[in-house]
């Protein structure tokens, strides 16, 4: 469980990036901290753009020996030989994704603030369950995930839990003892120096 250790870092790509400049920016972030898992999370539905972006990010993921998953696209995860998929519809698609990708793939589920949905996702075969956002503009139905859900989950449930969305240094410090993974994305990409921002967020965990 996460209580004794620092949570591992889960890095999410920006929703949009320039294929010519992003690899350097990503490399500097990967040099700055040890990343356990990375997620390709593009807003576009253009398959060609997704494929080209996946090629760029996958090359770096392999170089740094980091597992790479993709948002939602089970078929692309298979075709591109990625490590798995991150599902954004809670527990609904977990069983089908597990069946399609096989037992060795990573299947993660974002469950918003629903403890029940998280439990169903875990029972359906999810490798991790993500809850969030923790602050700011809430996704989905506008509900923030509260601290208690992480506290309860870390004590009661074996499936690893990911804290995601709107993380601040204060929230990092608070959630570190009760999260297995901390997901970092827009928190660093929207800043002048993503690698430095990441280091300061990690430092906040103590």
Any domain includes 1 = no
pLDDT digit string (tens) for the chain, length 206 residues? 334 478 999 999 999 999 999 999 999 999 999 999 999 999 998 999 999 999 999 999 999 999 999 999 999 999 999 999 999 999 999 999 999 999 999 999 999 999 999 999 999 999 999 999 999 865 556 689 999 999 999 999 999 999 999 999 999 999 999 999 999 999 999 999 999 999 999 999 98
Any domain includes 185 = yes
Number of domains within the chain: 1
This prediction's pTM: 0.94
Report the first-to-last Cα separation within the chain, whole angstroms.
18
Q: Provide the pLDDT for residue 137.
A: 65
Residues in CB range of 193: below 8 A, 6 or more apart? none
Any domain includes 73 = yes
Is there a contact between 41 and 34 (Cβ–Cβ < 8 Å)?
A: no
pLDDT, tens digit, 9 for 90 and up, residues 132-169? 999 986 555 668 999 999 999 999 999 999 999 999 99
Q: Provide the pLDDT for residue 108.
A: 98
Tell me whether residue 85 is exposed, middle or buried, using C-beta atoms within 10 angstroms of its C-beta: 0 to 12, 13 to 18, 19 or more. Answer: buried
Q: In CATH, what number is assigned to the domain containing residue 167?
A: 3.20.20.70
Is there a contact between 193 and 25 (Cβ–Cβ < 8 Å)?
A: no
At which residue do the structure tokens 């090359």 appear? 59
What does the alpha-carbon distance between residue 80 and residue 55 come to, in Å, rounded to a whole number? 8
Any domain includes 2 = no
Any domain includes 3 = no
Is there a contact between 79 and 73 (Cβ–Cβ < 8 Å)?
A: no
Q: Provide the pLDDT for residue 140.
A: 57
Q: Provide the pLDDT for residue 3.
A: 41
**Could you list the residue range(s) of the whole structural domain that residue 107 is in?**
8-201
């Amino acid at each position: 469980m996460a209580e004794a250790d620092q949570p591992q870092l889960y890095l999410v790509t920006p929703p949009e990036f320039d294929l010519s400049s992003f690899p350097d920016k990503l490399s500097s972030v990967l040099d700055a901290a040890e990343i356990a898992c990375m997620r390709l999370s593009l807003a576009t539905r253009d398959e060609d753009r997704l494929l080209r972006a996946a090629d760029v990010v996958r090359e770096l993921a392999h170089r740094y020996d980091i597992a790479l998953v993709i948002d939602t696209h089970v078929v692309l995860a298979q075709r591109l030989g990625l490590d798995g998929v991150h599902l954004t519809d809670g527990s609904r698609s977990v069983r089908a994704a597990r069946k399609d990708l096989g037992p060795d793939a990573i299947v993660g589920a974002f469950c918003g603030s629903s403890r029940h949905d998280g439990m169903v996702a875990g029972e359906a075969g999810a490798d991790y369950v993500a809850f969030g956002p923790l602050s700011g503009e809430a996704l989905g139905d506008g509900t923030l995930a509260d601290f208690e859900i992480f506290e309860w989950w870390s004590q009661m449930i074996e499936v690893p839990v990911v804290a995601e969305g709107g993380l601040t240094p204060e929230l990092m410090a608070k959630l570190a003892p009760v999260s297995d993974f901390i997901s970092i994305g827009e928190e660093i990409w929207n800043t002048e120096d993503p690698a430095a921002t990441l280091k300061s967020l990690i430092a906040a965990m103590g």
